[in-house]
Amino acid sequence: MTMRLEIEGLDELIANIEKLERITQDAKDDALIAGGDLLKDKIKSEVYSHGLTRRTGEAQESIVRTDPKDGAVYVGTQGGAKRPGYYLYMHEFGYYNVRAKRFIAPKPLVSVVFSNNTQAILEEYAKVFRKRYANELG
Note the pLDDT tens digit of each residue in 52-75. Answer: 778 887 888 889 999 999 889 999
61 Cα distance to chain centroid: 16
Q: Which helix (H) or strand (E) segment is 104 a member of?
A: strand 102-104
Confidence band of 17 (pLDDT split at 50, 70, 90): confident
Q: What is the pTM of this model?
A: 0.78
Helix (H, G, I), strand (E, B) or coil at 65: strand
Would you say residue 2 has pLDDT above 60? no
| Percent helix, percent strand, percent coil in the chain, to nearest 5 | 55, 10, 35
Give the pLDDT mean for 95-121. 93
Helices 10-46 and 118-137 cross at an angle (nearest 10°) of 150
